[in-house]
């Protein structure tokens, strides 16, 4: 019977953590959607500088209106579902990059950083 009480307490604690607002440093209590870059970097487990550059190029291409965000969103969820869980060598960014490059080439879209945003 003790295990039942412990389990209930744990579930209640988890439920409270999910329901109660967090007091994050510097964050407001508004329920904002994460920005595209935040979602891609965190959700795709971006680690390497080249991967950050690729994500920034994708965002620039979306912002220029050349690549629909709907395609980026679809590839994001596809890549997260495709990557094996717990295998750090096969992070979702690997599938995202390969898949989005393939779709973009079929649509004749060049995924490139905006020259004016790079400062060059």
pLDDT digits (tens, 9 = 90+) for 21-35: 554 445 555 677 789
Banded model confidence at residue 86, pLDDT cuts 50, 70, 90: confident
The predicted structure's pLDDT at residue 66: 96
pLDDT digits (tens, 9 = 90+) for 39-69: 999 999 999 999 999 999 999 999 999 999 9
Name the CA radius of gyration of the chain, rounded: 19
CA distances from 87 to 2, 55, 75 (A): 36, 21, 19
For residue 24, which phi and psi values (nearest 5 degrees)?
-75, 140
The predicted structure's pLDDT at residue 120: 47
Token pair 């690997």 is at which residue?
A: 94
Q: Are 57 and 47 in contact (CB under 8 A)?
A: no
Banded model confidence at residue 73, pLDDT cuts 50, 70, 90: very high
């Amino acid at each position: 019977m003790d295990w039942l009480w412990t389990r209930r307490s744990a579930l209640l604690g988890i439920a409270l953590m999910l329901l109660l607002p967090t007091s994050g440093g510097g964050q407001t209590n508004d329920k904002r959607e994460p920005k595209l870059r935040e979602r891609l970097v965190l959700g795709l487990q971006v680690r390497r500088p080249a991967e950050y550059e690729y994500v920034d190029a994708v965002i620039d291409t979306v912002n220029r209106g050349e690549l629909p965000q709907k395609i980026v969103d679809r590839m994001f969820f596809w890549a997260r579902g495709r990557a094996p869980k717990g295998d750090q060598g096969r992070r979702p960014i690997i599938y995202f990059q390969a898949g989005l490059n393939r779709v973009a080439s079929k649509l004749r879209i060049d995924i490139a950083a905006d020259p004016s945003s790079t400062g060059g």
